[in-house]
């Protein structure tokens, strides 16, 4: 075993370990934070771990499990970014599954077929199919993160570490796509030993980068959150509106967490100029609406459905009572604001 091979194996072992750690942590966070959306990300990293482990017995398992690392991202993006929002989820899922079926058939044909020229064509066809799956799945995740990051970039209420998590997820998506690009430069039958050895290291390194960015994104250390927030402490403006109606106990206790307060700040700052009221008064109104929605649904804690219903129903009713003109148009805009930032309820929750 030469130095290049040893390096490739070492990096692969680190990659497999990190994938397993991420999967385990996600399972714990999914249960602790009651975030059903994370089950799809958990399955993503579980697939990566299984592919790496089973690939020791037969390298074909790596190819068979590899597309699942991308495909499971699709339902996560749909559930996190696109509730009550038009998307191409069904068509992308159907296309990805069709390509996945082709990958399995082509990989088996390459493994057990004969004829060098035909096998080379089959090899690159399923590598291209995997790349197409990654471009579709992680490309959609990439674009969704960029879009949301732009919408909250100037919001003073959203904590900096939450904004930075979107940046890390963007880099994670890009590195995931890179892991599907490099195999195109890998010889189909390792006929060129030096090229194969070098590309093994490159592919292992790209997989490791994906693991590191993913681990940091999903499990951002508390110290990093503190550093990011302290650097922008002067720009953070969280609403602390005193209201006798909710003064009996802290708002964070009523509504769940500082995340809800930051979302209220964001929405309040956008709604205030539309109804010509002070931001503080508008945020108080939004808080009262959320409290009413909690009581109506008999739940504790805010999810997207409750937040959306509070905006569409209770806030609309309160604005009507205040005699605000063009309430329907205002609520429609506010509803779009809620839909646009809905991923905060997952990405910013832990």
Q: What does the CA dihedral 278, 281, 286, 287 come to, rounded to 10 degrees?
A: 140
From the candidate CATH numbers 3.40.30, 1.20.1070, 3.40.50, 3.90.1570, the one assigned to the domain spanning 3-230? 1.20.1070
Contact (CB, 8 A) for 36 and 231: no
Question: Does residue 324 sit in helix, strand or coil?
Answer: coil
Residues 309, 316: Cα–Cα separation, whole Å: 10
pLDDT computed for residue 261 by the predictor: 85
The DSSP output letter for 314 is I
Contact (CB, 8 A) for 8 and 200: yes
Tokens found for residue 179: 């892991």
Residues 160, 19: Cα–Cα separation, whole Å: 26
Task: Give the number of other CB atoms < 10 A from CB of residue 194.
Answer: 9
Query: What kind and span of H or E run contains 268?
Result: helix 258-275
Could you state, in order of their start, the residue ranges of all structural domains in the chain? 3-230, 237-347
Contact (CB, 8 A) for 8 and 197: yes
pLDDT by residue, tens only, the chain of 350 residues: 566 566 667 777 888 898 999 999 999 988 887 888 999 999 999 999 999 899 888 888 999 999 999 999 999 999 999 999 999 999 999 999 999 999 999 999 998 887 677 788 899 999 999 999 999 999 999 999 999 999 999 888 889 999 999 999 999 999 999 999 988 887 665 544 455 667 777 877 888 889 999 999 998 988 999 999 887 655 444 444 443 333 344 443 444 467 888 899 999 999 999 999 999 999 999 988 988 888 887 766 678 888 998 888 899 999 999 999 999 999 999 999 999 999 999 998 87
Query: What kind and span of H or E run contains 14?
Result: helix 3-32
Tell me the Cα Rg of the chain. 24
Own/partner long-range contacts of 79-85 (Cβ < 8 Å, ≥24 apart): 79/36, 79/37, 79/40, 80/37, 80/342, 80/343, 80/346, 80/347, 81/144, 81/148, 81/342, 81/343, 82/144, 83/304, 83/305, 83/308, 83/339, 83/342, 84/308, 84/339, 85/339, 85/342
Contact (CB, 8 A) for 69 and 50: no
Tokens found for residue 119: 């096998």
Contact (CB, 8 A) for 201 and 173: no
Contact (CB, 8 A) for 8 and 206: no
Regarding pTM above 0.85, the answer is: yes
Contact (CB, 8 A) for 282 and 272: yes
Per-residue burial over 66-84, b = 16 or more CB atoms within 10 Å of its CB, e = otherwise? bbbbbbbbbbbbbbbbbbe
In the numeric block, the tokens 């809800």 are attached to 260
pLDDT computed for residue 236 by the predictor: 47
pLDDT computed for residue 282 by the predictor: 92
pLDDT computed for residue 195 by the predictor: 56
């Amino acid at each position: 075993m030469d130095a290049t091979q040893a390096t490739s194996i070492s990096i692969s072992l680190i990659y497999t370990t990190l994938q397993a750690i991420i999967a385990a942590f996600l399972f714990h966070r999914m249960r602790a934070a009651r975030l059903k959306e994370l089950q799809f990300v958990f399955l993503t990293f579980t697939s990566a771990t299984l592919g790496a482990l089973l690939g020791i017995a037969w390298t074909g398992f790596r190819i068979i499990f590899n597309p699942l690392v991308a495909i499971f991202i699709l339902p996560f993006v749909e559930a996190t970014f696109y509730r009550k929002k038009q998307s191409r989820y069904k068509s992308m899922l159907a296309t990805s599954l069709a390509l996945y079926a082709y990958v399995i058939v082509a990989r088996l044909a390459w493994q057990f077929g004969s004829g060098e020229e035909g096998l080379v064509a089959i090899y690159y066809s399923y590598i291209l199919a995997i790349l197409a799956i990654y471009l579709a799945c992680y490309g959609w995740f990439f674009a969704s993160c960029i879009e949301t990051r732009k919408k909250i970039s100037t919001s003073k209420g959203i904590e900096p570490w939450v904004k930075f998590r979107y940046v890390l997820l963007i880099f994670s998506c890009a590195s995931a796509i890179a892991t599907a690009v490099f195999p195109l430069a890998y010889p189909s039958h390792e006929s060129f030993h030096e090229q194969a050895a070098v590309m093994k290291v490159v592919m292992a390194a790209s997989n490791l980068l994906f693991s590191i960015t993913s681990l940091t994104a999903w499990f951002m250390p508390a110290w990093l959150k503190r550093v990011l927030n302290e650097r922008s402490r002067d720009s953070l403006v969280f609403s602390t509106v005193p209201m006798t109606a909710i003064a009996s106990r802290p708002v964070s206790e009523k509504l769940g967490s500082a995340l809800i307060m930051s979302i209220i700040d964001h929405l309040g700052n956008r709604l205030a100029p539309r109804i010509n009221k002070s931001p503080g008064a508008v945020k108080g109104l939004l808080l009262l609406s959320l409290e009413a929605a909690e009581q109506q649904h008999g739940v504790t804690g805010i999810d997207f459905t409750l937040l959306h219903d509070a905006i569409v129903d209770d806030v609309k009713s309160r604005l009507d009572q205040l005699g605000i003109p063009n309430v329907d148009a205002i609520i429609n805009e506010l509803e779009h604001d809620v839909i646009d930032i809905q991923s905060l309820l997952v990405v910013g929750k832990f």
